Amino acid sequence: MSRARQPPLVTGISPNEGAPWTKVTIRGENLGTGPNDLIGLSICGHNCLLTAEWMSASKIVCRVGPAKDDKGEIIVTTRSGGQGTSTVSFKLLKPERIGILDQSAVWLDELNYYDMRTDRNKGISPLSLRPANPLGIEIDKGKVPLKDLENMFPSMSGDFTSENFSATWYLIENHSSTSFEQLRAAVGNLKKQASKKNEGSLAYVKGGLSTFFEAQDALAAIHQKLESDGTEKVEGSMTQRLENVLNRASETADTLFQEVLGRKDKADSTRNALNVLQRFKFLFNLPLNIERNIQKGDYDIVINDYEKAKSLFGNTEVPVFKKVYSEVETRIEALRKLLLDKLLETPSTLHDQKRYIRYLSDLHAPGDPAWQCIVAQHKWILQLMQNCKEDLIKEQKGIHTLGGVDLELDRSSALNRISLSAPVKRGGSFQTPKDDSWHYKSPQQVRFVEKLSDVVISQLPNFWKLWISYVNGSLFSETGEKSGQVEKLKKNARQRQNDFKGMIEEVTRRLVQLVRGALLPSSLTEQQLRQYGGWNTKTPLRGAWLTQVIHTVRLSHEALSALEIPNDLLQVIQDLLQDLRVHCLLTTLQHTEEDVKRLAEKEDWVVDNEGITSLPAQFEQCMVQMLQSLKEPMECKPGEINVQIFTRHSSSALPLQIIWSVISFMCVCLFVLRSLIWMWFKTKLVSSLLCVCLFCNCQYLERHTFLNLAEHLEKNGFTTAEKIIRVSIEALRQLDEYLFETYIDKKSDPIVGSLEPGIYAGYFDWKDCLPPTGVRSYLKEALVSIISVHAEVFTVSKELVSRVLSKIIEAVAEEMSRLMQCVSSFSKNGALQARLEICALRDAIELYLTSESLTSFKQALEALPQLQSGADKKLLEELLNKFKSSMKLQLNCFKPASFQPVKR
């Protein structure tokens, strides 16, 4: 007769390898219709039916026995399908002996011990004591959340081994989509399992009935034998005598072996104690190990040992264990205090702070050590900043330490580290001297700002990172695991956000107030000055040093912005930068004006071959230095506003370029006027040569200096450079014209004033005079005076000769014309004398005649009577030639120059 079902087929086993008594799950097809249908199960040749538990036609759970084969198949045999086959195999691993105190990475399931001496199927599986699937049907996990089940069944449980087991909970969780028919089959399975348990108990009794009967028969035979002898009722019977003999033998034996048994009991006690010590040596050695590891700094080992001891002996009731464990707790409490002290020590690195906080978190330290560390670091930073000010006020040179930290940082420390980072780059036109003496040459306030910035940008980033780690929980767990303690600490961090924001505000505010106390004391109140002031501000800083301060504060702001600190917390630094930029601009302009005023005092009047003194170069140098100092404060970084200066009488803001044009004009005026005043009023023996130097300087300013300044203006970002130069040149030209007219007046007035007295010297009369014999002396003296002016100007600058002499000759020609026109009448001799002198003067200075002077000479000649006879004309020509011949040497200076002036 053919079988109704296909033979079993095993297609999978999990796990596919393991030691003996490993619990495995077998999956396949046609594995039986029920528990009774399963009649055979072997793994690697060992019969595992005794531990098998049929779950369904596709699933069987059992334990692997101590098979001989290392690897073999899984064969299932059923009544309905017969012996099956397997497509998979199981690998048996040799077990390793693990002592009670040995560490093991494998967790072994609890095993219900039972008698392994027989291989009989007793009708009950030991796994049924704690069945994984008590209903015997497929488990279909539902989608109802565990929290909803807990709310639906308060104080109940879905675990069938729990005392508060709820069947409804179990069905909703594991069989929410199971059909009613399958549930009816599950009920049948439960009933069968119950009947099997009863049958199993009865089977134990049935199996031992023969033994009981045999024992009863033996006892009955002994009883009948004694009754047949009749001695049990007689005193001194056999049983009584036997009892007495046995009692004496027992007493004798006790006497003989009392000492031996005592030693045996003591040895057993000692052996038991040693076994306990050996078995629990971890706990007994733990206090000493904790001390040693703490001294070596192996806090991780201490924490791991403590967690292990706490899980094993934390709730023990054994007195000796409780005593040892209390010693462990005492040492752990001392470790908590030690770690907290190390955490609050300053200075410390961010790495050490995180490490100690994790240790304290793992040791369940009371309070919130992370927040305690943040508060301590905040106070430390504020103290460093205050100490920085106090040390630099007391000491001007040397290395100073702030609270044990060496703050003599060279300029490559904090600021250069920031300059190499991504978001921060160095800028600014002012370059600090590269030699090592910079630190000692710079003013105290500048060194203070440098060191204060070093303190802030070296301490605040770690302080901020510590807070970020505190908020996101990475401070307590590197793996980001979620636990009740970590979530509690993260919640505490979120609640302290406003407190930490106040700490950052206090640090930035302290930074700003300290800088203001050193550089902008007028912006603080009297109370703030007492706390943050104390600097010697009698000598204000120059613009170059203020530029360096602005550059340093900007770097600090950029470094803090790179940490993603909110902008509202850094706004006070932006306000400080704005005030410093305005202060730097005003100070630079003021100092530049003062420097220009002092240029005239430094003039040594040493001229070069072009008649230029050192004043133009010094003026240009002052302007260039001013532009370099103005570049940094005028530059507008992201987030900053353009600097504007307000007029006193108007609320409207003027762009800095317009202010610069006014300042430039004032500087030029002051420069030249101070030179003029110094020359005209400080020296009584006035040398007109100095005045000529002024003309040369003015021309050099116009032709060279201002053009160079225009290039510097464009390079430094002044978009209105052309307008500034045009206004300045116009002012310079006006001043030059004023100085030129003053000089001409000074030089021409004596010459012009000497003409009229010279003409009428010796009571000379045009109406009654002798025939002319030559040019009179007054005219020769006037020419000599003109020659002296020529020599004076020529010595300084050849180019100025024509300009100066032309103006002087115009004045002389105008005066001669006036004098001739004032004569009422001329005699013949007088007319000839006047014509001789006018022509002699005109011919001698012919090279420097202008249209105005020619007109004046023409008017003078027209006022004279005309020559009628040829003899008069001949005489006039002879006298002119005689004059030119006699004064040839003097008149050579009025000829075109063929050589350069001598260099001085």
Domain ranges of the chain: 9-92, 244-344, 679-893
Task: Mean pLDDT check: name the lowest of 28-32, 116-120, 278-282, 601-605.
Answer: 116-120
200: closest CA among 113, 112, 129?
129
Confidence of residue 900 (pLDDT cuts 50, 70, 90): very low
In percent, the amount of the chain with pLDDT more than 70 equals: 74
Q: What is the pLDDT of residues 203-259, one digit of tens each?
A: 556 656 667 777 777 777 777 776 676 655 555 566 777 778 888 888 887 787 787
Rounded Cα gap, residues 110 and 108, in angstroms: 6
Indicate whether 25 pLDDT > 90: yes
Q: What is the pLDDT of residues 353-400, one digit of tens each?
A: 888 888 887 888 888 888 888 888 888 888 888 888 777 777 644 444
Q: What is the pLDDT of residues 44-71, one digit of tens each?
A: 888 888 889 998 889 999 999 887 768 8
Residue bearing the bigger pLDDT, 353 or 434: 353
Confidence of residue 851 (pLDDT cuts 50, 70, 90): very high
Rounded Cα gap, residues 691 and 675, in angstroms: 9
C-alpha pair distances (Å), 418 with each of 348, 432, 481, 507: 21, 17, 34, 19
Rounded Cα gap, residues 774 and 772, in angstroms: 6
Confidence of residue 671 (pLDDT cuts 50, 70, 90): low
Q: What is the pLDDT of residues 67-86, one digit of tens each?
A: 776 888 899 999 888 999 99
The alpha-helical segments, DSSP class H, found in 280-397 are: 281-296, 299-313, 319-344, 350-362, 369-394
Contact 778, 837 (CB under 8 A): no
* 7 DSSP 8-state letter: P
Indicate whether 867 pLDDT > 50: yes
Indicate whether 901 pLDDT > 60: no
Rounded Cα gap, residues 178 and 297, in angstroms: 59
Contact 697, 613 (CB under 8 A): yes
Rounded Cα gap, residues 120 and 98, in angstroms: 31
Rounded Cα gap, residues 22 and 119, in angstroms: 18
Residue bearing the bigger pLDDT, 193 or 90: 90
In sequence order, the 6+-apart residues with CB closer than 8 A to the CB of 376 are: 343, 344, 346
- The pLDDT, as a whole number, for residue 511 is 85
Mean predicted confidence (pLDDT) in 292-321 = 83
Contact 40, 75 (CB under 8 A): yes
The DSSP annotation for 739-802 comes to HHHHHHHHHHHHHHHHHHHHHTTTS--SSS-PPP-S--HHHHHHHHHHHHHHHHHHHH-THHHH
Indicate whether 486 pLDDT > 70: no
Contact 465, 568 (CB under 8 A): no
Q: How far is CA 425 from the centre of its chain?
A: 13
In percent, the amount of the chain with pLDDT more than 90 equals: 12
Rounded Cα gap, residues 762 and 777, in angstroms: 12
Other CB atoms within 10 A of residue 840 CB? 23
Side-chain-side CA neighbours of 478 within 13 Å: the count stands at: 7
CATH of domain 9-92: 2.60.40.10
Indicate whether 856 pLDDT > 90: yes
Residue bearing the bigger pLDDT, 669 or 261: 261
pTM greater than 0.75 (yes/no): no
711: closest CA among 699, 724, 696, 700?
724
Cis link prior to 15 (omega < 30° from 0)?
yes
Other CB atoms within 10 A of residue 272 CB? 10
Indicate whether 107 pLDDT > 60: no
306's tokens = 């403590």
- The pLDDT, as a whole number, for residue 776 is 92
> In the chain, how long is the greatest CA-to-CA distance?
218
Contact 773, 877 (CB under 8 A): no
Rounded Cα gap, residues 206 and 646, in angstroms: 117
C-alpha pair distances (Å), 848 with each of 801, 892, 895: 9, 13, 10
Confidence of residue 835 (pLDDT cuts 50, 70, 90): very high
- The CA-CA-CA angle for residues 383, 373, 476, to 5°, reads 155
**Sign of CA pseudo-dihedral 168, 174, 178, 183:** negative
Mean predicted confidence (pLDDT) in 7-14 = 92
> Cα(first)–Cα(last) distance of the chain, in Å?
144
The alpha-helical segments, DSSP class H, found in 52-179 are: 146-152, 167-174
127's tokens = 């796994």
Contact 27, 59 (CB under 8 A): yes
Confidence of residue 263 (pLDDT cuts 50, 70, 90): confident
Q: What is the 3-state secondary structure (H, E, C) of 209-230?
A: HHHHHHHHHHHHHHHHHHHHHC
Q: What is the pLDDT of residues 622-659, one digit of tens each?
A: 777 777 777 767 677 666 666 544 333 333 344 454 45
Contact 605, 613 (CB under 8 A): yes
Residue bearing the bigger pLDDT, 849 or 170: 849
- The pLDDT, as a whole number, for residue 161 is 67
Indicate whether 5 pLDDT > 50: yes
Indicate whether 718 pLDDT > 90: no
Contact 52, 86 (CB under 8 A): no
Mean predicted confidence (pLDDT) in 672-693 = 54
- The pLDDT, as a whole number, for residue 817 is 92
In sequence order, the 6+-apart residues with CB closer than 8 A to the CB of 300 are: none
Indicate whether 283 pLDDT > 50: yes
21: closest CA among 116, 111, 120, 124?
111
Mean predicted confidence (pLDDT) in 402-416 = 43
Indicate whether 850 pLDDT > 50: yes
Confidence of residue 427 (pLDDT cuts 50, 70, 90): very low
Q: Which helix (H) or strand (E) holds 824?
A: none
Confidence of residue 690 (pLDDT cuts 50, 70, 90): low
Confidence of residue 322 (pLDDT cuts 50, 70, 90): confident
Residue bearing the bigger pLDDT, 434 or 882: 882
Rounded Cα gap, residues 429 and 446, in angstroms: 17
Rounded Cα gap, residues 202 and 207, in angstroms: 9
- The pLDDT, as a whole number, for residue 893 is 82
302's tokens = 């201490």
- The pLDDT, as a whole number, for residue 854 is 94
Phi/psi of residue 40, each to 5°? -160, 140
285's tokens = 């050695």
Per-chain mean pLDDT for the chain: 75
Q: Which residue is listed with tokens 């675990």?
A: 159
Buried b (16+ CB within 10 A) or exposed e, 227-253: eeeeeeeeeeeeeeeeeeeeeeeeeee
Q: What is the pLDDT of residues 634-643, one digit of tens each?
A: 677 666 666 5
* 94 DSSP 8-state letter: P
Indicate whether 544 pLDDT > 50: yes
753's tokens = 């004033």
Rounded Cα gap, residues 365 and 628, in angstroms: 59
- The pLDDT, as a whole number, for residue 629 is 73
Rounded Cα gap, residues 894 and 54, in angstroms: 140
